[in-house]
Structure 1
Amino acid sequence: MDKKKAAAPLVCHGHSRPVVDLFYSPITPDGFFLISASKDSNPMLRNGGTGDWIGTFEGHKGAVWCCVLDKPAFRAASASADFSAKLWDALTGDELHSFEHKHIVRACAFSEDTHYLLTGGFEKILRIYDLNRPDAPPREVDKSPGSIRTLAWLHSDQTILSSCSDMGGVRLWDVRTGNIVRTLETKSAVTSAEVSQDGRYITTADGSTIKFWDANHFGLVKSYDMPCNMESASLEPKYGNKFIAGGEDLWVHVFDFHTGAEIACNKGHHGPVHCVRFSPGGESYASGSEDGTIRIWQTPNHNEDDPFVANGPSGEGKDVAAEVAEKVEALDLTDEKKQPGDDEGSKTDV
């Protein structure tokens, strides 16, 4: 199968150190937006379609590991090696609040209703801050078994998903009880965990494997071995028929969701790819690299005539949900075993 050559990407300069996280807003009346986190300590906001720089959030004193926007893209949040998570006004760039921690903050996430901010990091504690009362002490969820690497909300803010830097597996927490209710087993530490736009799938990257899980029943839907260690993966949100992955080989790969076959391979970065994310409409996707640049690529064969619908080919007789149901019983929920992990660095990571 011939792989289509992708059109030249939009190259977004501005960061002076590696880009380690990217996040797209949903589509808003003003379009959609892309926020980037970098070890240079300055998260940046861009037009999601054109890549044009809008502004820089200034105030962190250390590497910024994670950045997010709320649903209307009015507020941003960032997690940093300076032992803080910050809340920003995305319209003015002003710092609204700084949530102080006792160690590196690795991840943050707005709740679906945008009223809460979730943080986690080297302290191994999940904290939930009430953004209507930012000065109030946060609710602390039970301790994580390892240093927290990724966080996400699902099930209308009733469940929290987390992964650790130093061990495999994805843990699912019941927000009401604060307990881990299930663990999705992986061999290596999960470096990327994304909940699909329709809330049906969890996409994870662990080592050289990309996995897709049913977000409601937690069965393993697909698992693909990659040509190298992949740090990040993202599922196309409109049709669900493609996914992207990036990692240590410096390339951004596009794969067929149903077969795992590679559709395209985008070359251009000059360092490992740390993060990849699809735009909310799926027509493009962004990659952030060790080389300090963000590249925005056009999705191959992305048009309204695409024969695939959100959760499988329109002519497919066997529903994906049925496939998931067959695999749920085989889900392994054994105790976590610690895996070697990388250290994200000092307080300033300089």
Structure 2
Amino acid sequence: MATVAAAPTMPSQTGRQIPIVCPGHTRPLAELQFLTVQESSEAPRTFLASACHDKMPMLRDATSGDWIGTWSGHKGAVWSCRLDPKGFLSATASGDFSVQVWDAITGSALHSFPHKHVVKSVDWSPNSRRLATGGNEGVLRVFDILEPEKKPLEFVMNKDEVVSISKCNWIDNHTVLAACSDGLIRFWNVDESDPTRQLSKTLKVDSGVRDMELQTLSDNSKTILTVAAGDKVTFFDMESSSMIHSYKMPIHFREEGGASLHPSGNKFIAGGSDLWVRVFDFHTGQELECHKGHHGPIRCLRYHPDGMSYATGSEDGTIRLWKTDP
């Protein structure tokens, strides 16, 4: 199912929204991640991790935007920063050809995993035991955190030519999705010993994938894959691997940007080649809101797990926190 979303001619009619501005970074943002953790007997707390080309990934309070800490040590742009599901560890992927693992509480460096080219994406397995990485080499690697000196598992995207990996995400403790520059999203069973069965299936979009997100809906527990590629945002049902919607956007995702689905599954946000942050209806593709606040193109964005707010990161070096229903 494909729907064309018309480009807006004016800002949102719901009124101008003034977001919380989070300064601190000095270069374009690359990735944002929200994570909610239970701290002992206290109420759950949500954190916001950010990767940036200034080499200094940061951790913030997701509600106030207040800075908590910085992981310092990379010598190149940081393209990806992910907290593990328990909130004790952090992993960062960098242009310095390395992935670093940090103590998320103290900020100290724990492990360094060398690569042969720029690393664009990193993700933790649901049980926090393994780390998947991918980038310009076109090789998906899986590291065992309990045995960091052990040689990682390796899966080549295309043996005939280099196909870079833009995003990788674990579905479960055995399967990793790798979104690639050839428009394919590959499902890898990383525990399969037979090489002919390791690539279990693929999904196809029109252009190289810029952004990919897995979202489990709050009302029916259905898992939706959101993909931003070319000038479209496409949604797949992960149970059936079928396409639900594919909407043409008034922006493109060739150099920057992405999309994020609201936890309810009723709306989504998208940003990319211009300064606007847009909200769309998931079922029709109709634009609902359009906000301007950044002074550079939108590089990354994600909804808060409770759906009440969302964060955007820009080429202007700032993160902005917006209300879902202003």
| Residue deviations 1:93-137 (CA, integer Å, cap 9, x gap) | 111111111111111000011110001112211111111111221
| Residue deviations 1:6-32 (CA, integer Å, cap 9, x gap) | 531010000011011111113433501
Percent of aligned pairs with the same residue?
A: 46
Query: In angstroms, what is the RMSD of aligned CA positions?
Result: 1.6
Q: SS in structure 1 opposite 2:45?
A: coil
Q: Is the 8 A contact 2:140 2:178 kept in 1?
A: no
Matched, 1:141 2:155: yes
Unaligned segments of structure 2, at least 5 residues:
1-7
- Indicate the larger mover: 136-145 or 34-43: 136-145
Q: SS in structure 2 opposite 1:109?
A: strand
Matched, 1:8 2:18: yes
Matched, 1:242 2:267: yes
Which amino acid is 2:318 matched to?
A: T
Matched, 1:270 2:295: yes
Task: Tell me the residue number matched to 2:127.
Answer: 113
Task: Tell me the residue number matched to 1:40.
Answer: 54
Which amino acid is 1:157 matched to?
A: N
- Kindly tell me: are residues 6 and 184 of structure 1, through their superposed partners in 2, closer, same or farther at Cα, counting changes over 3 Å? farther
What's the CA shift for 1:186?
A: 1.0
Task: Tell me the residue number matched to 1:103.
Answer: 117
Task: Tell me the residue number matched to 1:228.
Answer: 251
Which amino acid is 2:184 matched to?
A: G
Matched, 1:209 2:232: yes
* One of 184, 188, 207 as aligned partner of 1:173: 188
Between the aligned partners of 2:157 and 2:289, the Cα distance in structure 1 is: 41
Between the aligned partners of 2:115 and 2:214, the Cα distance in structure 1 is: 26
What's the CA shift for 1:264?
A: 0.9
Task: Tell me the residue number matched to 1:334.
Answer: none
Which amino acid is 1:148 matched to?
A: I
Between the aligned partners of 2:184 and 2:275, the Cα distance in structure 1 is: 25
TM-score, normalised relative to structure 1? 0.82
Matched, 1:72 2:98: no
Q: Is the 8 A contact 1:202 1:215 kept in 2?
A: yes
Between the aligned partners of 2:22 and 2:65, the Cα distance in structure 1 is: 6
| Residue deviations 1:161-192 (CA, integer Å, cap 9, x gap) | 11123x21211222233632222111111100
Task: Tell me the residue number matched to 2:281.
Answer: 256
| Residue deviations 1:29-69 (CA, integer Å, cap 9, x gap) | 35010010111000000001111000010000000001101
Q: SS in structure 2 opposite 1:277?
A: strand
Q: SS in structure 2 opposite 1:141?
A: strand
Between the aligned partners of 2:313 and 2:146, the Cα distance in structure 1 is: 32
TM-score, normalised relative to structure 2? 0.88
Between the aligned partners of 2:29 and 2:126, the Cα distance in structure 1 is: 25
| Residue deviations 1:280-317 (CA, integer Å, cap 9, x gap) | 1111000001000000100027xxxxxxxxxxxxxxxx
Which amino acid is 1:181 matched to?
A: S
Task: Tell me the residue number matched to 1:300.
Answer: 325
Task: Tell me the residue number matched to 2:68.
Answer: 54
Between the aligned partners of 2:89 and 2:22, the Cα distance in structure 1 is: 22
- Indicate the larger mover: 175-184 or 90-99: 175-184
Unaligned segments of structure 1, at least 5 residues:
302-350
Normalized per residue, the structure richer in strand is 2
Which amino acid is 1:33 matched to?
A: F
What's the CA shift for 1:74?
A: 1.3
Task: Tell me the residue number matched to 1:194.
Answer: 213
Which amino acid is 1:221 matched to?
A: I
Task: Tell me the residue number matched to 1:158.
Answer: 174
* One of 78, 95, 105 as aligned partner of 1:81: 95
Which amino acid is 1:146 matched to?
A: V
